[in-house]
Amino acid sequence: MTTPSTDHRTAPDAAGPDGLRLRDVCLTLGDGDTAVTALDHVDLTVAPGEFVAVVGPSGSGKSSLLAVAGGLQRPTSGTVHIAGTELTALSDKERTAARRRHIGFVFQQSNLLASLTVREQLLLPLHIDGRLDAAARARADELIEAVGLAHRTGSRPHQLSGGERQRAGLARALMTSPAVLLVDEPTSALDRVRSAEAVRLIAEQTHRHGTATVMVTHDTAIMDAADRVHEMVDGRLS
Amino acid sequence: MFLALRDLRFARGRFALMGAVVALIAVLGVLLSGLASGLADAGISGLRALPVTHMAFDEKATSEQFSRSTVEQEDWEAWAGAPGVERAEPFGNTLVNAQVTQGEEKGEQVNLAVFGMAPDSPLAPSPAEGKGLKDGGGGIVISQEIADLGVRVGDVLTADKSEVRLTVTGLVDDTVSYGHIGVAYADLDTWRHLHYGLPGELPEAAQRQATAVALTLEDGADVTAVEKATGTRADDKETTYGASPGYTAESSTMALIKGFLYAISALVVGAFFTVWTVQRKPEIALLKALGAPTRYILRDALAQVVAVLVVATAAGTAVGLALGSAMIGKAPFSLSPPAIATSAGLLIGLGTVGAAVAVRRITAVDPLTALGATR
């Protein structure tokens, strides 16, 4: 594994001094007697180009960590910074825009849109942002090539294998040159060999594009590709 | 429309089914509009063609005024002299059965809606063929509707019972009818003979009567005084259509059917897009997680709704027009472009409203559900 480095960022100014920084983040779900502490004073800093894995059993708060880091959910307390911007200080609208521009999500089982071809999946985030131009199309073709889906450009999700879907999801997440890449259980639908390949690809892309990458997984077998591994138990990060 | 069009193509089977329902409703909409305008033509085109703004009826006649009302000479004279009245003249209306007694179709039974008027009044027809009306002599000018039965200029018709002889002196180009019966124009004297069923000399009183006073009023004229003095009530032209037999019942039946049709269409479209939106929930959550503003998703969904409705309505209207053209002449049917445009517009408009209520659910979808754990 190559040394994580900040030199590979395609847009260094977008990332700012740091990629992702969570400070003393707490998240309580529900209220009263049914309240659950999903995140318990979590601190996490991920530098641009760094690949951090968070492992833990289901229910440990891994998904909550992604939800808060990705601006899908407001923490109960604490701050989240992305590319130098304090995500927790933004309005809902600004948070949506921040997700669109600075955060790349790779969802469990990739979560592609059924009616779009692989190429269109990649173009969608830029269409949403009103930036669908020739440069975007070139970047889409480049990323499709990079994740090894050149022969699948015109295929729709139902024609793809689980591994291919995962790679398409990764390429889509990288389309907007995000500062932060958040990966949710990338191997849940894959066998052992494919899992290793998928995680290797994530690591490779992280280093090439200089994203601050957080991958949550319960699969301890795929952690060795990560630069750093944290364990999550009952909302606490170690 | 990035996603909307691709979804339409991808789920074309489902959208085609819903589109077919809308298209069939559009076909029905065109046919009903055609039938409604056809029935209106058959019911009141004779009245519509009269150059008047109002009709004054005996105020004691409150419905079916054209058969129940009688006005006297003093009445139309009083109206003619009243302020705000440009023109007032007697108008007679009666339905008569007659038989062709001289002509090609000898023996043929003919129904006539006889409109009586002074030959020199603007109400009198200007025939395309033959001569216009003149006082006395039993001459009538027939409309195309009656000519279609084989009656020609020069034929002689004999009214049933009264045995009044009518000579066809002229023919107007238009198909004008009243109460589904072709209009025949007659001078007042001839009309009175037919109306009272009396051949020969008419009694003194009958010579001074008509059904209504045909009026041309100035805009905003206040005629309460003359109404009171004469014991008549002036209705505007559109209101008098309701006084023609069956017209109100026919038009309200049509309006009711059309209303239900639009309501059903809006509900079908609403139900379809409710199911569709619920089904799309995971994709909507994903779009939101990717940073799509709710406005972007709503706009996309509504564009899809409008695209489906416009295509389906256009296709249905085209089929309806083709079917309707084949029906002209075989049924009381006429294609009126404004009525068809209104019908298509309502279908699209109300369908959009129905679907808009359904796609509003998009706003409530939580992007958090795009993450695996909470799914």
- Please give the Cα distance from B268 to B288 (Å, whole number): 28
C-alpha angle B2/B7/B10, rounded to 5°? 130
pLDDT digits (tens, 9 = 90+) for B261-273: 999 999 999 999 9
pLDDT digits (tens, 9 = 90+) for A79-112: 999 988 999 999 999 999 999 999 999 998 768 9
pLDDT digits (tens, 9 = 90+) for B175-232: 899 999 999 999 999 999 999 988 888 888 889 999 999 999 999 888 999 999 999 9
Q: Do B183 and B115 form a contact (C-beta atoms < 8 A)?
A: yes
A127 interaction partners in chain B (CB closer than 8 Å): 2
Q: Do B192 and B209 form a contact (C-beta atoms < 8 A)?
A: yes
B370 and A99 in contact by Cβ < 8 A? no
**pLDDT at residue A110, as a whole number:** 66
Contact of B221 with chain A, judged by CB distance below 8 Å, is answered with no
Buried b (16+ CB within 10 A) or exposed e, A215-226: bbbebeebbebb
Confidence of residue A186 (pLDDT cuts 50, 70, 90): confident
- Please give the Cα distance from B32 to B40 (Å, whole number): 12
A66 and B371 in contact by Cβ < 8 A? yes
Smallest CA–CA distance, residue B341 to chain A, in Å, is 34
Average pLDDT of the segment spanning A182-195: 86
B373 interaction partners in chain A (CB closer than 8 Å): 58, 62-64, 184
Size of interface A-B (CB pairs under 8 A): 84
Confidence of residue A12 (pLDDT cuts 50, 70, 90): very low
B179: left (phi over 0), alpha (psi -120 to 50) or beta: left
Chain A contacts in chain B segment 293-312 (CB below 8 A): 293, 296
Confidence of residue B327 (pLDDT cuts 50, 70, 90): confident
Confidence of residue B372 (pLDDT cuts 50, 70, 90): low
Average pLDDT over chain B, rounded to an integer: 92
**Assembly ipTM:** 0.89
B286 and A111 in contact by Cβ < 8 A? yes
B3 and A116 in contact by Cβ < 8 A? yes
Most confident region among A72-86, B242-256, B361-375 by mean pLDDT: A72-86
- What domains can be seen in chain A, in order of their start residue? 6-237 (3.40.50.300)
Residue A14 or residue A223, greater confidence: A223
Residue A59 or residue A66, greater confidence: A66
Q: Do B163 and B199 form a contact (C-beta atoms < 8 A)?
A: yes
pLDDT digits (tens, 9 = 90+) for B139-174: 999 999 899 989 999 999 999 988 999 999 999 988
Average pLDDT of the segment spanning B38-58: 93
**Per-residue pLDDT at A5 exceeds 70:** no
A96 and B293 in contact by Cβ < 8 A? yes
Smallest CA–CA distance, residue A72 to chain B, in Å, is 6
**Per-residue pLDDT at B375 exceeds 50:** no
Residue ranges of the alpha helices (H) in B290-369? 294-327, 337-359
| CB < 8 Å & 24+ apart, contacts of B124-132 | B124/B185, B125/B170, B125/B172, B125/B185, B126/B172, B127/B169, B127/B170, B127/B171, B127/B172, B128/B171, B128/B172, B128/B173, B129/B153, B129/B170, B129/B171, B130/B154, B130/B168, B130/B169, B130/B170, B130/B171, B131/B169, B131/B170, B132/B169, B132/B170
Confidence of residue A58 (pLDDT cuts 50, 70, 90): confident
